[in-house]
Amino acid sequence: MAMFELHGRTALITGAGQGMGTGVAEVLAAQGAHVLVNDLDGSRADAVVGQLRDNGHSAEAMIFDVTDLEAVRRAIAERPIDILVNNAGNGGAETMQPRKFVDTDPGEWEGPLAVNLGGVMNCTHTVLPGMVARGWGRVIGVVSGAGTQGVHIGVAAYSAGKAGAAGLLRSVALEVARKGVTVNSIALGLMSNTGGSDITAGLAKTIPTGRLGTPHDLGALCAYLASDEASWMTAQTIPLAGGSITS
Ligand SMILES: NC(=O)c1ccc[n+]([C@@H]2O[C@H](COP(=O)([O-])OP(=O)(O)OC[C@H]3O[C@@H](n4cnc5c(N)ncnc54)[C@H](O)[C@@H]3O)[C@@H](O)[C@H]2O)c1
């Protein structure tokens, strides 16, 4: 019996122009979903869509900034979206600038909160009414171990954004639990694009399984959470971290 089939479903993956989001788009498309590849960088999104179509999958690009509520609404309020993967994050359009919290300027807090929490609020708030009206939906947040436990790597505002997103989605999950809509988050550990290839080997040694996570590791868990079979899994923050986060 085939499981985790997504034929007939439309899935929006934010920040899918590179990295983890691209892997999620590839896996959900391979399971049969029509994939909406969002990114604020249009050329990245177009390249991913081209690659998915070359592989026989159904995909289209959706260029907007998740932190801009009006842009989110213009792009997707009228679209029937069955699966939302809130993946856009990290430093947003900026690269992450690791620094101790006391050494940060208050002006540096808004960016990490806007993309990692505000973007999740904007997209989830926009798609949820349609999911509830149709009686079926899946919302997934891509969060981080940095939001579920303390990390000593100079990313406190990012941690706050990720913890905020996980908390938001647990409460939203309970509001829609009777409506056929599940809402979960995935707390990622160190992934294969963390820190550049020069330090990847060193980082891998710190992980119990001995390797960093891949975009397809994330995609596989998203495929499960997005499936009909996962209808009893909701309001969870699930670690996906090669054993480096225990629960
Ligand atoms: N890579 C890791 O080690 C790791 C670890 C834990 C959690 N995460 C989380 O996983 C998610 C994906 O991480 P990644 O490393 O693949 O990210 P990445 O930075 O490599 O790619 C993110 C993509 O999102 C796009 N983007 C950024 N801001 C956007 C916005 N406001 N609107 C639309 N698109 C936007 C970027 O253009 C980029 O293409 C993020 O939420 C990140 O915080 C990653």
Q: How far is the CA of 94 from the centre of ligand 1 (A)?
A: 10
> Which pTM does this prediction carry?
0.98
Range of the domain at 41: 10-240
CATH of the domain at 89: 3.40.50.720
22 Cα: distance to centroid of ligand 1 (angstroms): 10
Active site residues: 158
3-state secondary structure the chain: CCCCCCCCCEEEECCCCCHHHHHHHHHHHHCCCEEEEEECCHHHHHHHHHHHHHCCCCEEEEECCCCCHHHHHHHHCCCCCCEEEECCCCCCCCCCCCCCHHHCCHHHCHHHHHHHHHHHHHHHHHHHHHHHHHCCEEEEEEEEHHHHCCCCCCCHHHHHHHHHHHHHHHHHHHHCHHHCEEEEEEEECCECCCCCHHHHHHHHHCCCCCCCECHHHHHHHHHHHHCHHHCCCCCCEEEECCCCCCC
Kindly report, residue by residue over 192-206, the tens digit of the pLDDT. Answer: 986 556 567 788 899
Mutate which of 20, 37, 123, 151 to test ligand 1's pocket (most atoms within 8 Å of Cβ)?
Answer: 20
CA dist., res. 201 & res. 218, Å (int)? 20
2 lies in some domain = no
Contact 220, 25 (CB under 8 A): no
Does 70 fall in a domain?
yes
pLDDT of res. 198: 58
The sign of the dihedral angle between the CA atoms of 50, 12, 44, 25 is negative
Q: Could you tell me if residue 86 is inside a domain?
A: yes
Which residue puts its alpha carbon closest to atom 15 of ligand 1? 19
Look at residue 5 and tell me if it is in a domain: no
Is the residue at 4 inside a domain? Answer: no
Which portions of the chain are predicted below pLDDT 70? 194-199
30 inside domain: yes
At 194 the pLDDT is 64
The owner of tokens 């604020």 is 40
Nearest to 164 by CA among 194, 185, 182: 185
Q: Which amino acid is at 36?
A: L
For residue 87 the two structure tokens come to 């993946």
Write out pLDDT tens, residues 6-16. 999 999 999 99
Looking at residue 196, its pLDDT comes to 58
Contacts of 23 by beta carbon, 8 Å cutoff, 6+ apart: 214, 215, 216, 217, 218, 219
Q: Which two tokens stand for residue 180?
A: 């056929």
Provide the token pair at 198. 């020069």
Into how many domains does the chain fold? Answer: 1
Whether residue 1 is contained in a domain is answered as no
- CB under 6 Å to ligand 1: residues? 14-15, 17-21, 38-41, 44, 65-67, 87-90, 92-93, 115, 119, 142, 144, 188, 190-191, 193-194
User: Do the domain assignments include residue 245?
Assistant: no
